[in-house]
């Protein structure tokens, strides 16, 4: 029962396509944030569900850890094989299996990225709405319950995955859910696997909801005297029932980063960036209604457009928040937080984050999916400066605890992975015991992504 | 370890408020459909989560079955204590604990009904949108993952329950989820408990999403030459992105029932009933857009209104489908089916249901939440006529299997309960084994609503 005996057996399995090259191991042990590298012993490249099943049977027999790898864009180190074993790379499971235009759904293998899928959908009049910014795989997005700028309108992966095929730790293949839009038939295994971060099963097929491409899209921007004014505008807009497709807060430091990175000249004040989807008349009416609401809260510089170039430029800017944060000090790396709070407490949370980061002498940008109460602080850190790193950790820790005190969560969309395990007891209390029961029931040998999501046993 | 020793212990527990009167036992053993009565040994009336916890500790120790009882409106016998033991009546857990207008959520005890909650919300400008027709309790609606006419716009209980407090079989109290709109923090225990039909835990507190009362509402009706034309109109309307709040199919036999029951004079043809929520200009535009789409599919008699009396009359008629079905033959009872299929297969499913019911000599009405692909056949049966009952069973069985063949589910919103257990293997295959693992992990003694949801072990 060792990893080495598992690797021997996998080498004889054609469907594993096992490689142990240094380059492959290194590439699968890297991450985009601040976690130390953790290369696997080997990498496998299955192409079919059957391949995954055979791989898991071998790994389960020999107690070899299995960590799924999609596009490697996780911000919480989900794909890092911290206990060694194999990295199960889904890049060859990249087929769009079926697009149902009448039912507005698609069935894909887990290695299909959201941009791949949307490219395939372009001629159908449909699109897949969940947009985390990065070109992640749909398997990875489902595993982390990802969302992004459009969740306020279209929901997260929780709402957009209809059905799954998955392989259990012992190699059994199961299907959960159906293509029907709703069901009351038994335990919701689909929602149990969405967000399970590869710790309960390996996803091998996903059926996702699609949306009709809107007839018209309008985008709007305006600035506010304070973050509170911006957030109060958001609350009022939501209560009014205006169907926003995106509503993003950008704080004054983030604006400075955009100006540096993009050469723009936005006034350094809190901004909202919005998008509306609907009919030509509808999106015009919605943008104007929003503008008049916003002016009641002191908004200035209100502009809206339906021109696609202007809209694209706006969202390109927004999606480059990470690079724009680095533009404030190119020698630093970025630590990204991810709290999500009830929207009535959002202004308080954002103001506290600004105050705390300044008090700790940190440079910090804030962007937020404020329609959901979710925002990210981008804290610049020099990994070689233990004092700065420690102050950044203090900041991140205070913010996580504040979010819990305000009735929120430590992670709105990035997931627990490695970095947030220490908050599981604080967020879930005794419910962590239930999660451990579920993990033990479904993965008794503990081979699936060990060291993630659940804290180490007490 | 007997039920009697549990009852002895419960009698000494003030929070149990135990009663064994014949009237209480009978009332808790009845149902609205065709299942035989199944009275509990006794009924308890807890008022607090602590009461529920103490009750469950006793029942778990003594192996006494516990079946939760809300308003008793289940159509699949969920609340029937088929293995005896106690009925845990939540009617005294009927407090609205908190309404957050800024966050648009409310926290309630499980015995609050949806009408109670909406009455409390009237002055706030908010409403709770899930509407199964019956005035069910929110605890029961969550337990069965209920939905109804508005799911096409606002989702089901799956999307509208943010957080839960629940008591496990052994009396432990846990909280799942938070008031944040989204989270990626670990396994989705909230969604695991929603739809678990009281078999994994007893829900003691629910936090639900609210919606802003729309500024304006329009309702529309029209008739079609055929069910296919009506369904094709629905598919095109959804693809066009028109944000319908309700879209209901009524077949020609159901129209006959309405005419008999209500004294109306609608032409006996398939109809669609719709509702739009939005701004004054928006709902007018949406109704007109729908009308012009529908005419392309042969719609006639298109009418729309924003008058609240006319709208109320329309939905009162729709919600009396059960009584209107009985009006076709007042001596009969009604068996209600609940399949849900991908919308591209909906016309085929509805047509087959009409053809099969006629071929079997049954009187059958059809109403459907067609935006979701979910429809109900109301089959008239004389419980004293074994031949008719057997033909109704044959019909229901064929329809369930057809739905599975079409990629759908045997139950869109009523739940498995007693009546649909026989289809669990056909719908879920090996995933039933996972459900059994979850049940064993969370309720090892099997005291929670035994005999429901899962089929008996092979």
* CATH code for position A227: 3.40.462.40
**A293-334 pLDDT per residue, tens:** 999 999 999 999 999 999 999 999 998 998 999 999 999 988
Domain count within chain B: 4
Residue where one domain finishes, among candidates A212, A235, A267: A212
Q: Supply the mean pLDDT for chain B.
A: 95
- For A358-395, b/e burial (b = at least 16 CB within 10 A) is eebebbbbbbbbbbbbbbbbbbbbeeeeeebbebbeeb
Residue A281 belongs to some domain of the structure: yes
Note down the domain range covering B37.
3-91
Contact (CB, 8 A) for B212 and B206:
no
Q: Which residues of B touch A192 (CB under 8 A)?
A: 187-188, 191-192
Residue A449 belongs to some domain of the structure: no
Residue B243 has pLDDT above 90, yes or no: no
Q: Do A168 and A256 share a structural domain?
A: no
**B75-125 pLDDT per residue, tens:** 999 999 999 999 999 999 999 999 999 999 999 999 999 999 999 999 999
Residue partners of B423: CB distance under 8 A and separation at least 6? A185, B400, B404, B410
**Cβ of A394 under 8 Å from any chain B Cβ?**
no
Residue B430 belongs to some domain of the structure: no
Q: Do A172 and A68 share a structural domain?
A: no
Residues A354, A335: Cα–Cα separation, whole Å: 15
**Three-state secondary-structure class, residue B217:** strand
Q: What band does A279 get if pLDDT is binned at 50, 70 and 90? A: confident
Residue with tokens 């509407």: B131
Percent of the residues in chain A that have a pLDDT greater than 90, as a whole number: 91
CB atoms within 10 A of CB B383: 13
Chain A closest-CA separation from residue B233 CA (Å): 11
Residues A201, B115: Cα–Cα separation, whole Å: 41
**Cβ of A316 under 8 Å from any chain B Cβ?**
no
> DSSP secondary structure string, B48-110?
SHHHHHHHHHHHHHHT--EEEESSS--SS-TT--TT-SEEEE-TT---EEEEETTTTEEEE-T
Residues B266, B301: Cα–Cα separation, whole Å: 10
Q: Do B246 and B311 share a structural domain?
A: yes
What is the DSSP-derived secondary structure letter of residue B34?
S
pLDDT of residue B1: 61
Query: Which tokens sit at B354?
Result: 């009409």
Mean pLDDT across B285-299: 95
Mean pLDDT across A245-254: 96
Radius of gyration of chain A (CA): 22
CA angle A349, A454, A50 (to 5 degrees): 120
Q: What band does B282 get if pLDDT is binned at 50, 70 and 90? A: confident
pLDDT of residue B279: 86
- Short-list B219, B226, B227, B166, CA closest to B197: B166
Q: Do B127 and B172 share a structural domain?
A: yes
Percent of the residues in chain A that have a pLDDT greater than 70, as a whole number: 100
**Cβ of A425 under 8 Å from any chain B Cβ?**
no
Residues B226, A186: Cα–Cα separation, whole Å: 34
Percent of the residues in chain B that have a pLDDT greater than 90, as a whole number: 91
- For B245-267, b/e burial (b = at least 16 CB within 10 A) is bbbbbbbbbbbbbbbbbbeeebe
Q: Give the chain A residue nearest B241 (alpha carbons).
A: A212
Contact (CB, 8 A) for A371 and A238:
yes
- For B161-173, b/e burial (b = at least 16 CB within 10 A) is bbbbbbbbbbbbb
Contact (CB, 8 A) for B222 and B301:
yes
- Short-list A235, A261, A266, CA closest to A250: A266
Lowest model confidence (mean pLDDT) among A243-247, B238-242, B268-272, B449-453: B238-242
Instruction: Lay out the sheet containing A333-336: strands in order across.
Output: A300-305, A216-223, A271-278, A244-250, A364-369, A374-381, A333-336
Contact (CB, 8 A) for A106 and A162:
no
The DSSP element (H or E) to which A249 belongs, if any, is: strand A244-250
Q: Do B187 and B120 share a structural domain?
A: yes
Q: Do A108 and A74 share a structural domain?
A: no
Contact (CB, 8 A) for A277 and B241:
yes
The CA-atom distances, in angstroms, between A350 and each of A83, A224, B197 are 36, 14, 40
CB contact under 8 A, B191 and A192: yes
> DSSP secondary structure string, B180-214?
SS---SSS-HHHHHTTSTTSS-EEEEEEEE-EEPP
Q: Which residues of A touch B343 (CB under 8 A)?
A: 102-103, 181
Residue B321 belongs to some domain of the structure: yes
Q: What band does B207 get if pLDDT is binned at 50, 70 and 90? A: very high
* CATH code for position B175: 3.30.465.10
Q: What band does A1 get if pLDDT is binned at 50, 70 and 90? A: low
Q: Do B320 and B225 share a structural domain?
A: yes
- For chain A, the maximum distance between any two Cα atoms, rounded to a whole number of angstroms, is 69
Residue B449 belongs to some domain of the structure: no
- Short-list B345, B365, B343, CA closest to B257: B365
> DSSP secondary structure string, B285-335?
HHHHHHHHHHHHTT-EEEEEE--HHHHHHHHHHHHTHHHHHHHT-TT-EEE
Mean pLDDT across B180-190: 98
* CATH code for position B276: 3.30.70.2190
CB contact under 8 A, B183 and A409: yes
B contact test, residue of A99, A167, A186 with most B CBs within 10 A: A186
Q: At what angle do helices B49-62 and B3-11 cross, to 10 degrees?
A: 150
pLDDT of residue B457: 80
**Cβ of A376 under 8 Å from any chain B Cβ?**
no
Q: Do A234 and A170 share a structural domain?
A: no
**Cβ of A238 under 8 Å from any chain B Cβ?**
yes
Q: Do A305 and A367 share a structural domain?
A: yes
* CATH code for position B15: 3.30.43.10
Q: Do A104 and A77 share a structural domain?
A: no
Residues A448, A91: Cα–Cα separation, whole Å: 19
Residue where one domain finishes, among candidates B181, B212, B243: B212
**B155-172 pLDDT per residue, tens:** 999 999 999 999 999 999
**A394-451 pLDDT per residue, tens:** 999 999 999 999 999 999 999 999 999 999 999 999 999 999 999 999 999 999 999 9
- The dihedral over CA atoms of B191, B194, B196, B198, expressed in degrees to the nearest 10, equals 140
Residue A437 belongs to some domain of the structure: no
Residue B456 belongs to some domain of the structure: no
**Cβ of B267 under 8 Å from any chain A Cβ?**
no
Residue B456 has pLDDT above 70, yes or no: yes
What is the DSSP-derived secondary structure letter of residue A318?
H
Q: Which residues of B touch A173 (CB under 8 A)?
A: 430
Contact (CB, 8 A) for B345 and B406:
yes
CB atoms within 10 A of CB A119: 11
CB contact under 8 A, A174 and B104: no
Q: Are strands A86-89 and A66-69 parallel, antiparallel or unpaired?
A: parallel
**Cβ of B453 under 8 Å from any chain A Cβ?**
yes
Residue B2 has pLDDT above 80, yes or no: yes
Contact (CB, 8 A) for B128 and B121:
yes
Residue B453 belongs to some domain of the structure: no
Residue A458 has pLDDT above 90, yes or no: no
Cβ contacts below 8 Å, chain A against chain B, sum to 290
What is the DSSP-derived secondary structure letter of residue A196?
S
Residue B399 has pLDDT above 70, yes or no: yes
Residue where one domain finishes, among candidates A212, A244, A268: A212
Residues A401, A411: Cα–Cα separation, whole Å: 11
Lowest model confidence (mean pLDDT) among A396-410, B30-44, B51-65: B30-44
Q: Do B102 and B208 share a structural domain?
A: yes
Q: Do B319 and B335 share a structural domain?
A: no
Residue with tokens 């029931």: A441
The CA-atom distances, in angstroms, between A371 and each of A243, A250, A321 are 11, 13, 18
Residue B458 has pLDDT above 80, yes or no: no
């Amino acid at each position: 029962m060792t990893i080495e005996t598992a690797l021997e057996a996998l080498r004889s399995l054609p469907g594993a396509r096992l490689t142990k090259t240094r380059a492959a191991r290194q590439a699968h042990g890297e991450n985009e944030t601040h976690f130390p590298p953790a290369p696997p012993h080997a990498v496998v490249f299955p192409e079919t569900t059957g391949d995954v099943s055979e791989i898991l049977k071998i790994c389960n027999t020999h107690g070899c850890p299995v960590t799924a790898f999609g596009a490697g864009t996780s911000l919480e180190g989900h794909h890092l094989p911290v206990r060694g074993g194999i990295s199960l790379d889904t890049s060859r499971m990249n087929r769009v299996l079926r697009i149902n235009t009448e039912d507005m759904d698609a069935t894909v293998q887990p290695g299909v990225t959201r941009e791949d899928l949307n490219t395939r959908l372009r001629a159908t009049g449909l699109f897949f709405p969940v947009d985390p910014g990065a070109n992640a795989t749909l398997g990875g997005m489902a595993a982390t319950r990802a969302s992004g700028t459009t969740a306020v309108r279209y929901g997260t992966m929780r709402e957009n995955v209809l059905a799954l095929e998955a392989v259990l730790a012992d190699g059994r293949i199961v299907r959960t859910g159906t293509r029907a839009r709703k069901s009351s038939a038994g335990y919701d295994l689909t929602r149990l696997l969405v967000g399970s971060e590869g710790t309960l099963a390996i996803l091998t097929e996903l059926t996702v909801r699609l949306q009709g491409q809107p007839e018209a899209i309008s985008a709007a921007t305006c600035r506010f005297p304070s973050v509170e004014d911006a957030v109060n505008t958001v609350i009022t807009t939501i209560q009014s029932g205006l169907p926003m497709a995106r509503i993003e807060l950008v704080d004054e430091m983030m604006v400075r980063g955009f100006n540096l990175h993009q050469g723009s000249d936005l006034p350094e004040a809190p901004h909202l960036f919005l998008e509306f989807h609907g009919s030509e008349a509808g999106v015009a009416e919605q943008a104007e209604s929003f503008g008049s609401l916003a002016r009641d809260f002191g908004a200035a510089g209100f502009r809206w457009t339906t021109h696609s170039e202007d809209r694209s430029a706006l969202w390109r800017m927004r999606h480059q928040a990470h690079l724009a944060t680095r533009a404030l000090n190119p020698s630093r790396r970025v630590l990204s937080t991810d709290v999500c709070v009830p929207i009535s407490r959002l202004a308080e949370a954002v103001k506290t984050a600004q105050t705390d980061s300044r008090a700790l002498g940190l440079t910090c940008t804030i962007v937020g999916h404020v329609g959901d109460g979710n925002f990210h602080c981008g804290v610049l850190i020099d990994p070689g400066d233990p004092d700065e790193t420690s102050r950044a950790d203090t900041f991140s820790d205070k913010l996580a605890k504040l979010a819990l005190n305000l009735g929120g969560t430590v992670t709105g969309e990035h997931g627990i992975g490695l970095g947030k395990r220490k908050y599981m007891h604080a967020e879930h209390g005794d419910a962590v015991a239930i999660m451990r029961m579920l993990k033990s029931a479904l993965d008794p040998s503990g081979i699936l992504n060990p060291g993630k999501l659940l804290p180490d046993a007490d």
